Amino acid sequence: MLILGLETSCDETGVALYHTGRGLLAHALFSQVDIHVEYGGVVPELASRDHIRKALPLIEEVMASAGCSAGDIDAVAYTAGPGLVGALMVGATLARALAWGWGVPSLGVHHMEGHLLAPMLEAERPDFPFVALLVSGGHTQLVRVDGIGEYKLLGESLDDAAGEAFDKAAKMLGLPYPGGPHIARLAEQGDAARFDFPRPMVNRPGLDFSFSGLKTYTLNTVNDCQASGGLGEQDKCDIARAFEEAVVATLVIKCRRALKQEGLKTLVMAGGVSANRNLRASLAQALQKDRARVFYPAPEFCTDNGAMIAYAGAQRLAAGQRDEGGIAVRPRWPMAELPPITLAAG
Ligand code: KG4
Ligand code: ZN
Protein backbone atom coordinates (compact mmCIF):
# COMPACT_ATOMS: atom_id res chain seq x y z
CA MET A 1 0.00 0.00 0.00
CA LEU A 2 1.38 3.40 -1.02
CA ILE A 3 0.38 6.33 1.20
CA LEU A 4 0.75 10.04 0.49
CA GLY A 5 1.25 11.89 3.79
CA LEU A 6 0.64 15.63 4.31
CA GLU A 7 1.66 17.67 7.34
CA THR A 8 0.38 21.26 7.63
CA SER A 9 -0.44 21.72 11.32
CA CYS A 10 1.90 24.63 11.98
CA ASP A 11 4.70 26.34 10.05
CA GLU A 12 6.09 23.45 8.01
CA THR A 13 4.61 21.97 4.86
CA GLY A 14 5.68 18.31 4.88
CA VAL A 15 4.94 15.77 2.17
CA ALA A 16 6.02 12.11 1.96
CA LEU A 17 5.30 8.86 0.18
CA TYR A 18 5.46 5.77 2.39
CA HIS A 19 5.11 2.24 1.04
CA THR A 20 4.10 -0.44 3.54
CA GLY A 21 6.49 -2.96 1.96
CA ARG A 22 9.29 -0.73 0.70
CA GLY A 23 9.37 1.94 3.40
CA LEU A 24 9.81 5.66 2.84
CA LEU A 25 10.13 6.35 -0.89
CA ALA A 26 10.48 10.14 -0.90
CA HIS A 27 9.81 13.17 1.25
CA ALA A 28 10.08 16.95 1.06
CA LEU A 29 9.68 19.80 3.50
CA PHE A 30 9.22 23.52 3.23
CA SER A 31 9.89 25.45 6.43
CA GLN A 32 8.13 28.81 6.79
CA VAL A 33 10.66 30.08 9.34
CA ASP A 34 11.74 33.00 7.12
CA ILE A 35 8.12 34.15 6.78
CA HIS A 36 7.46 34.22 10.53
CA VAL A 37 10.87 35.24 11.84
CA GLU A 38 10.20 39.00 11.74
CA TYR A 39 7.11 38.50 13.97
CA GLY A 40 9.00 36.40 16.56
CA GLY A 41 6.52 33.51 16.23
CA VAL A 42 4.07 31.81 13.89
CA VAL A 43 1.38 34.06 12.37
CA PRO A 44 -1.52 31.66 11.73
CA GLU A 45 -3.00 33.39 8.67
CA LEU A 46 0.39 33.64 6.96
CA ALA A 47 0.98 29.96 7.74
CA SER A 48 -2.33 28.89 6.12
CA ARG A 49 -1.69 30.96 3.01
CA ASP A 50 1.78 29.58 2.53
CA HIS A 51 0.61 25.96 2.95
CA ILE A 52 -1.79 26.66 0.06
CA ARG A 53 1.11 27.88 -2.08
CA LYS A 54 3.56 25.10 -1.24
CA ALA A 55 1.55 21.90 -0.77
CA LEU A 56 0.79 21.01 -4.40
CA PRO A 57 4.28 21.78 -5.79
CA LEU A 58 5.78 19.69 -2.96
CA ILE A 59 3.42 16.81 -3.72
CA GLU A 60 4.46 16.94 -7.39
CA GLU A 61 8.13 17.04 -6.37
CA VAL A 62 7.79 14.03 -4.08
CA MET A 63 5.86 12.01 -6.65
CA ALA A 64 8.46 12.80 -9.31
CA SER A 65 11.38 11.84 -7.06
CA ALA A 66 9.68 8.54 -6.13
CA GLY A 67 8.91 7.97 -9.82
CA CYS A 68 5.23 7.39 -9.20
CA SER A 69 2.02 8.80 -10.59
CA ALA A 70 -1.40 9.49 -9.10
CA GLY A 71 -2.64 6.04 -10.11
CA ASP A 72 -0.04 4.38 -7.83
CA ILE A 73 -1.30 6.06 -4.65
CA ASP A 74 -3.62 3.91 -2.52
CA ALA A 75 -4.57 6.44 0.19
CA VAL A 76 -3.93 9.94 1.49
CA ALA A 77 -3.12 10.64 5.15
CA TYR A 78 -2.98 14.17 6.57
CA THR A 79 -2.64 15.86 9.94
CA ALA A 80 -6.14 16.51 11.29
CA GLY A 81 -4.97 17.95 14.64
CA PRO A 82 -3.84 19.23 17.03
CA GLY A 83 -2.57 22.45 15.50
CA LEU A 84 -3.60 25.77 13.97
CA VAL A 85 -7.13 25.48 12.63
CA GLY A 86 -6.54 27.31 9.32
CA ALA A 87 -3.30 25.45 8.62
CA LEU A 88 -4.97 22.12 9.41
CA MET A 89 -7.89 23.00 7.13
CA VAL A 90 -5.54 23.54 4.17
CA GLY A 91 -4.07 20.05 4.55
CA ALA A 92 -7.44 18.42 5.23
CA THR A 93 -9.25 19.99 2.26
CA LEU A 94 -6.37 19.29 -0.12
CA ALA A 95 -5.94 15.70 1.07
CA ARG A 96 -9.65 14.98 0.85
CA ALA A 97 -9.97 16.59 -2.58
CA LEU A 98 -7.03 14.57 -3.93
CA ALA A 99 -8.36 11.34 -2.41
CA TRP A 100 -11.81 12.01 -3.84
CA GLY A 101 -10.38 12.82 -7.28
CA TRP A 102 -8.18 9.72 -7.25
CA GLY A 103 -10.94 7.49 -5.88
CA VAL A 104 -8.90 6.37 -2.85
CA PRO A 105 -9.57 6.60 0.91
CA SER A 106 -8.19 9.33 3.14
CA LEU A 107 -7.54 9.51 6.86
CA GLY A 108 -6.92 12.35 9.33
CA VAL A 109 -3.91 11.58 11.55
CA HIS A 110 -3.08 12.83 15.05
CA HIS A 111 0.06 14.99 14.84
CA MET A 112 1.49 13.74 18.16
CA GLU A 113 0.86 10.12 17.21
CA GLY A 114 2.88 10.92 14.10
CA HIS A 115 5.76 12.18 16.27
CA LEU A 116 5.40 9.20 18.61
CA LEU A 117 5.67 6.67 15.76
CA ALA A 118 8.46 8.52 13.88
CA PRO A 119 11.18 6.29 15.46
CA MET A 120 9.48 3.40 13.59
CA LEU A 121 10.84 4.91 10.36
CA GLU A 122 14.35 3.91 11.48
CA ALA A 123 16.01 0.57 10.71
CA GLU A 124 16.16 -0.32 14.41
CA ARG A 125 12.71 0.00 15.93
CA PRO A 126 11.55 -0.12 19.53
CA ASP A 127 9.22 -2.93 20.64
CA PHE A 128 6.04 -2.24 22.61
CA PRO A 129 5.55 -1.52 25.45
CA PHE A 130 7.67 1.57 25.98
CA VAL A 131 7.61 4.99 27.60
CA ALA A 132 7.53 7.90 25.15
CA LEU A 133 8.82 11.38 25.87
CA LEU A 134 7.07 13.78 23.50
CA VAL A 135 8.84 17.12 23.49
CA SER A 136 7.75 19.65 20.90
CA GLY A 137 6.84 23.32 20.67
CA GLY A 138 3.33 22.61 21.95
CA HIS A 139 3.67 19.47 24.08
CA THR A 140 5.80 17.96 26.82
CA GLN A 141 4.36 14.60 27.75
CA LEU A 142 5.42 11.25 29.14
CA VAL A 143 3.19 8.52 27.76
CA ARG A 144 3.08 4.78 28.38
CA VAL A 145 2.62 3.11 25.00
CA ASP A 146 1.39 -0.49 24.93
CA GLY A 147 0.60 -0.43 21.21
CA ILE A 148 -0.68 1.96 18.56
CA GLY A 149 -3.59 3.84 20.12
CA GLU A 150 -2.91 2.36 23.59
CA TYR A 151 -1.68 5.48 25.29
CA LYS A 152 -1.66 6.29 28.99
CA LEU A 153 -0.60 9.82 29.91
CA LEU A 154 1.90 9.56 32.79
CA GLY A 155 2.81 13.23 33.09
CA GLU A 156 2.87 16.51 31.22
CA SER A 157 3.89 20.11 31.49
CA LEU A 158 1.69 22.17 33.75
CA ASP A 159 2.64 25.34 31.86
CA ASP A 160 5.03 25.89 28.94
CA ALA A 161 6.10 23.04 26.69
CA ALA A 162 9.86 22.36 26.61
CA GLY A 163 10.16 23.70 23.04
CA GLU A 164 8.17 26.78 23.98
CA ALA A 165 10.55 27.36 26.92
CA PHE A 166 13.52 27.10 24.52
CA ASP A 167 11.83 29.59 22.18
CA LYS A 168 11.08 32.08 25.00
CA ALA A 169 14.57 31.83 26.49
CA ALA A 170 15.99 32.41 23.01
CA LYS A 171 13.89 35.56 22.63
CA MET A 172 15.31 36.90 25.91
CA LEU A 173 18.79 36.39 24.47
CA GLY A 174 17.83 38.21 21.27
CA LEU A 175 17.90 35.02 19.18
CA PRO A 176 15.49 34.44 16.29
CA TYR A 177 12.45 32.12 16.26
CA PRO A 178 12.37 29.14 16.60
CA GLY A 179 14.95 29.42 19.33
CA GLY A 180 15.73 25.79 20.22
CA PRO A 181 18.46 25.21 17.63
CA HIS A 182 19.97 28.68 18.31
CA ILE A 183 20.15 28.04 22.08
CA ALA A 184 21.73 24.64 21.35
CA ARG A 185 24.36 26.25 19.11
CA LEU A 186 25.31 28.93 21.69
CA ALA A 187 25.27 26.37 24.52
CA GLU A 188 28.14 24.50 22.85
CA GLN A 189 30.39 27.51 23.54
CA GLY A 190 28.98 28.08 27.03
CA ASP A 191 30.65 27.50 30.40
CA ALA A 192 28.51 24.99 32.31
CA ALA A 193 30.03 26.00 35.66
CA ARG A 194 29.17 29.72 35.52
CA PHE A 195 25.42 29.65 36.29
CA ASP A 196 23.48 27.02 38.19
CA PHE A 197 19.86 27.13 37.00
CA PRO A 198 17.15 25.36 39.04
CA ARG A 199 15.87 21.94 37.93
CA PRO A 200 12.10 22.53 38.15
CA MET A 201 9.93 20.03 40.04
CA VAL A 202 12.53 17.28 40.29
CA ASN A 203 12.23 17.10 44.07
CA ARG A 204 8.50 16.66 43.93
CA PRO A 205 7.07 13.18 43.31
CA GLY A 206 5.26 12.50 40.06
CA LEU A 207 5.95 12.91 36.39
CA ASP A 208 4.65 16.39 35.60
CA PHE A 209 6.87 19.20 34.35
CA SER A 210 6.92 22.96 34.79
CA PHE A 211 9.15 25.28 32.80
CA SER A 212 7.77 28.72 33.68
CA GLY A 213 10.04 29.16 36.73
CA LEU A 214 13.06 28.43 34.59
CA LYS A 215 11.87 31.10 32.19
CA THR A 216 11.74 33.67 35.01
CA TYR A 217 15.18 32.58 36.25
CA THR A 218 16.57 33.04 32.74
CA LEU A 219 15.06 36.53 32.49
CA ASN A 220 16.50 37.52 35.88
CA THR A 221 19.95 36.28 34.85
CA VAL A 222 19.74 38.22 31.57
CA ASN A 223 18.73 41.35 33.53
CA ASP A 224 21.58 40.87 36.04
CA CYS A 225 24.09 40.68 33.18
CA GLN A 226 22.61 43.75 31.55
CA ALA A 227 22.77 45.68 34.84
CA SER A 228 26.43 44.79 35.32
CA GLY A 229 27.96 46.04 32.10
CA GLY A 230 25.74 44.55 29.38
CA LEU A 231 24.88 41.17 27.91
CA GLY A 232 27.95 40.06 25.97
CA GLU A 233 28.32 37.14 23.56
CA GLN A 234 29.95 34.91 26.19
CA ASP A 235 27.17 35.76 28.68
CA LYS A 236 24.63 34.60 26.10
CA CYS A 237 26.50 31.34 25.54
CA ASP A 238 26.81 30.71 29.30
CA ILE A 239 23.10 31.41 29.88
CA ALA A 240 22.13 29.22 26.93
CA ARG A 241 24.28 26.42 28.35
CA ALA A 242 22.83 26.73 31.86
CA PHE A 243 19.29 26.84 30.49
CA GLU A 244 19.82 23.81 28.26
CA GLU A 245 21.48 21.86 31.08
CA ALA A 246 18.52 22.56 33.37
CA VAL A 247 15.91 21.45 30.79
CA VAL A 248 17.92 18.37 29.83
CA ALA A 249 18.55 17.34 33.46
CA THR A 250 14.84 17.72 34.26
CA LEU A 251 13.77 15.65 31.26
CA VAL A 252 16.35 12.94 32.02
CA ILE A 253 15.29 12.65 35.68
CA LYS A 254 11.60 12.35 34.75
CA CYS A 255 12.27 9.81 31.99
CA ARG A 256 14.21 7.56 34.35
CA ARG A 257 11.48 7.93 36.96
CA ALA A 258 8.79 7.02 34.41
CA LEU A 259 10.66 3.91 33.24
CA LYS A 260 11.16 2.80 36.84
CA GLN A 261 7.51 3.42 37.73
CA GLU A 262 6.27 1.43 34.73
CA GLY A 263 8.90 -1.32 35.05
CA LEU A 264 10.05 -0.76 31.45
CA LYS A 265 13.48 -0.57 29.80
CA THR A 266 12.65 1.18 26.53
CA LEU A 267 12.26 4.90 26.05
CA VAL A 268 11.20 6.56 22.81
CA MET A 269 11.81 10.26 22.36
CA ALA A 270 10.18 12.36 19.65
CA GLY A 271 9.15 15.91 18.74
CA GLY A 272 11.28 18.93 17.81
CA VAL A 273 13.24 19.16 21.08
CA SER A 274 14.38 15.53 20.64
CA ALA A 275 16.71 16.89 17.92
CA ASN A 276 18.76 18.45 20.76
CA ARG A 277 22.15 16.75 20.82
CA ASN A 278 22.81 17.35 24.51
CA LEU A 279 19.45 15.77 25.37
CA ARG A 280 20.10 12.76 23.11
CA ALA A 281 23.57 12.16 24.56
CA SER A 282 22.54 12.73 28.19
CA LEU A 283 19.56 10.39 27.94
CA ALA A 284 21.57 7.66 26.25
CA GLN A 285 24.25 7.96 28.93
CA ALA A 286 21.82 8.00 31.87
CA LEU A 287 19.77 5.08 30.57
CA GLN A 288 22.86 2.97 30.00
CA LYS A 289 23.29 2.95 33.79
CA ASP A 290 19.76 1.54 34.14
CA ARG A 291 20.35 -1.02 31.35
CA ALA A 292 17.59 0.74 29.43
CA ARG A 293 17.64 2.00 25.83
CA VAL A 294 16.48 5.13 24.11
CA PHE A 295 15.19 5.30 20.53
CA TYR A 296 14.72 8.50 18.58
CA PRO A 297 14.06 9.48 14.98
CA ALA A 298 16.75 10.79 12.63
CA PRO A 299 17.08 14.57 13.28
CA GLU A 300 15.09 15.49 10.14
CA PHE A 301 12.14 13.42 11.43
CA CYS A 302 12.25 14.90 14.97
CA THR A 303 10.70 18.18 13.86
CA ASP A 304 7.47 18.30 11.85
CA ASN A 305 7.52 16.28 8.63
CA GLY A 306 5.27 14.41 6.21
CA ALA A 307 6.93 11.01 6.71
CA MET A 308 5.64 10.53 10.23
CA ILE A 309 2.09 11.34 9.09
CA ALA A 310 2.33 8.94 6.13
CA TYR A 311 3.63 6.21 8.48
CA ALA A 312 0.98 6.71 11.19
CA GLY A 313 -1.70 6.95 8.48
CA ALA A 314 -0.45 3.74 6.85
CA GLN A 315 -0.87 1.86 10.13
CA ARG A 316 -4.39 3.08 10.73
CA LEU A 317 -5.49 2.68 7.09
CA ALA A 318 -4.13 -0.90 7.13
CA ALA A 319 -6.31 -1.50 10.19
CA GLY A 320 -9.34 -0.40 8.16
CA GLN A 321 -9.80 3.16 9.40
CA ARG A 322 -11.15 5.67 6.88
CA ASP A 323 -12.43 9.25 6.93
CA GLU A 324 -16.16 9.61 7.04
CA GLY A 325 -18.10 12.25 5.09
CA GLY A 326 -17.32 15.94 5.64
CA ILE A 327 -14.06 17.66 6.43
CA ALA A 328 -13.20 17.86 10.10
CA VAL A 329 -10.07 19.04 11.85
CA ARG A 330 -9.41 19.06 15.61
CA PRO A 331 -7.18 21.93 16.79
CA ARG A 332 -7.38 20.34 20.26
CA TRP A 333 -7.35 16.57 20.34
CA PRO A 334 -6.28 14.48 23.37
CA MET A 335 -4.20 11.54 22.13
CA ALA A 336 -5.88 9.21 24.64
CA GLU A 337 -9.07 9.42 22.51
CA LEU A 338 -7.44 7.50 19.65
CA PRO A 339 -8.70 3.93 19.18
CA PRO A 340 -6.23 1.03 19.55
CA ILE A 341 -5.11 -0.97 16.50
CA THR A 342 -2.58 -3.75 15.99
CA LEU A 343 0.68 -2.91 14.20
CA ALA A 344 0.34 -4.35 10.74
CA ALA A 345 1.79 -2.36 7.90
CA GLY A 346 5.54 -2.19 7.28
O1 KG4 B 1 7.83 19.13 16.72
P2 KG4 B 1 8.07 20.52 16.27
O3 KG4 B 1 8.80 20.72 14.94
O4 KG4 B 1 6.75 21.33 16.14
C5 KG4 B 1 5.69 21.18 17.04
O6 KG4 B 1 4.91 20.22 16.86
O7 KG4 B 1 5.66 22.00 17.98
O8 KG4 B 1 8.89 21.25 17.45
C9 KG4 B 1 9.34 22.56 17.34
C10 KG4 B 1 10.06 22.93 18.63
C11 KG4 B 1 10.43 24.41 18.69
O12 KG4 B 1 10.04 24.90 19.96
C13 KG4 B 1 11.96 24.40 18.55
O14 KG4 B 1 12.59 25.48 19.20
C15 KG4 B 1 12.31 23.08 19.17
O16 KG4 B 1 11.29 22.19 18.75
N17 KG4 B 1 13.62 22.57 18.71
C18 KG4 B 1 14.69 22.42 19.53
C19 KG4 B 1 15.76 21.97 18.70
N20 KG4 B 1 15.28 21.86 17.42
C21 KG4 B 1 13.98 22.23 17.44
N22 KG4 B 1 14.83 22.62 20.84
C23 KG4 B 1 16.05 22.39 21.38
N24 KG4 B 1 17.12 21.97 20.67
C25 KG4 B 1 17.02 21.75 19.34
N26 KG4 B 1 18.09 21.33 18.65
ZN1 ZN C 1 5.23 18.70 15.83
Q: Each residue of 310-324: pLDDT tens digit?
A: 999 999 999 999 999
Q: What is the pLDDT of residue 50?
A: 98
- Residue 346 pLDDT level (bands cut at 50, 70, 90): low
Whole-angstrom distance, CA of residue 37 vs CA of residue 185: 18
pLDDT tens column, 35-49 = 999 999 999 999 999
Q: What is the pLDDT of residues 269-300, one digit of tens each?
A: 999 999 999 999 999 999 999 999 999 999 99
* Residue 175 alpha carbon to ligand 2 centre in Å: 21
pLDDT of residue 204: 86
So what's the pLDDT on residue 342? Answer: 84
Nearest CA to ligand 1 atom 14: 180
- Determine contact, residues 274/118, Cβ cutoff 8 Å: no
Nearest atom in ligand 1 to 161's CA: 12
Q: Per-residue pLDDT for 17 more than 80?
A: yes
Name the residue with higher pLDDT: 62 or 205: 62
Atom index in ligand 1 nearest the CA of residue 111 equals 6
Which residue has the CA at smallest separation from atom 7 of ligand 1? Answer: 137
Whether 137 and 275 have beta carbons less than 8 Å apart is answered as no
Averaged over 88-94, what is the pLDDT? 98
- pLDDT digits over 169-223, tens only? 999 999 999 999 999 999 999 999 999 999 888 888 999 999 999 999 999 999 9
| Residues in contact with ligand 1 (CB, 6 Å cut-off) | 10, 136-138, 163-164, 166-167, 178-181, 184, 271-273, 275-276, 303-304
| Calpha distance 26→19 (Å, rounded) | 10
The minimum-distance atom of ligand 1 relative to the CA of 170 is 14
Q: What pLDDT shows up at residue 180? A: 97
Given this model, what pLDDT does residue 201 score?
82
pLDDT over 70 percentage in the chain: 99
In the chain, beta strands by DSSP E:
2-7, 12-19, 23-31, 75-81, 106-110, 130-135, 140-147, 150-156, 266-270, 293-295
344 — pLDDT class (breaks 50, 70, 90): confident
| Residue of minimum CA distance from atom 23 in ligand 1 | 180
Q: Which atom of ligand 1 is nearest to the CA of 179?
A: 14
> Do 212 and 157 contact (CB within 8 A), yes or no?
no
Taking the centre of ligand 2 as the mean of its atom positions, its distance from the CA of residue 340, in whole angstroms, is 21
Ligand 1 centroid – CA 185 distance (Å): 13
Angle of the 212-227 helix axis to the 162-172 helix axis, nearest 10: 10
pLDDT for the residue numbered 345: 62
Residue 201's region, left for phi above 0, alpha for psi from -120 to 50, else beta, is: left
CA of 137 to the centre of ligand 2 (A): 7
Fill in the DSSP letter of residue 59. H
Res. 302: pLDDT tops 80 = yes
Q: Which of 177, 273, 280, 304 gets mutated to test ligand 1 (max ligand atoms within 8 A of its CB)? A: 273
Ligand 1: nearest atom to the Cα of 164: 12
Q: How far is the CA of 92 from the centre of ligand 1 (A)?
A: 23
Name the least confident of 22-36, 134-148, 153-167, 194-208.
194-208
| 274 C-alpha to ligand 2 centroid (Å) | 11
Q: Mean pLDDT over all residues of the chain?
A: 96
pTM: 0.95
Average pLDDT of the residues in 8-14: 98
- Mutate which of 7, 111, 136, 215 for ligand 1? The one with the most ligand atoms within 8 Å of its CB, which is 136
Strand-pair partners of 155: 142
**Tell me, what DSSP letter sits at residue 199?**
-
